[in-house]
Amino acid sequence: DAKTTQPPSMDCAEGRAANLPCNHSTISGNEYVYWYRQIHSQGPQYIIHGLKNNETNEMASLIITEDRKSSTLILPHATLRDTAVYYCIVRANNAGNNRKLIWGLGTSLAVNP
C-alpha cells in the first residue's frame, strides 16, 4: 500500500503557482520524500527530493513540515507543459531497507490557459 495521500486532481491557472500537497503521516526518520511527475504517455520524471529541510531546484520547491508528516511541492510559475500526474513517494535510503518506490495514484494537475 502507498504510504502517501494526495488529492486526486487539481487545477491551476497558467503563470500562477501550483501548490501540490502530500500527507505522509507514517513517515520514518530515515525516509526521504521524493516527487516525480508523469506527463501523458511518458515515463516518470524526477523533480525533487528532501529529508527535513526545504529544497529548491530549477524545477520546483519542496516544503516539508517540521513534523515531516506532510509536504508541499510548489511549481512557482506553472505552464501548460506542467500538466501531468504528480507523485509523492516516501522511501528509505538505507541499505537493507525496502529499495523500491511505492507509488500511489498521484495528483493529476491541469494547468489551464
Bridge partners, residue 49, by sequence: 34
Burial class (CB in 10 A: 0-12, 13-18, 19+), 31: buried
> Is 13 a residue that touches another protein (CB under 8 A)?
no
CB 112 within 8 A of CB 18: no
Per-residue x/- mask for another protein, residues 17 to 36, rule CB under 8 A? Answer: ---------------x-x--
State which residue, 14 or 103, has the beta carbon closest to another protein: 103
Which residue, 32 or 72, has its beta carbon nearer to another protein? Answer: 32
Q: Is 46 in the site for another protein (CB under 8 A)?
A: yes
Q: What is the dihedral of CA 70, 50, 72, 28, to 10 degrees?
A: -10
Most distant pair of Cα atoms in the chain: their distance: 46
In the bound complex, what is the minimum distance in angstroms from residue 52's beta carbon to another protein?
13
Reading the block at residue 51, the C-alpha cell is 529529508
Task: Select from 22, 24, 106, 111 the one that contacts another protein (CB under 8 A).
Answer: 106
Compute how many residues bind another protein; rule: CB under 8 A. Answer: 24
Q: Which residues of the shown chain bind another protein in the complex (CB under 8 A)? A: 2, 32, 34, 42-46, 49, 87, 91-95, 97, 99-106
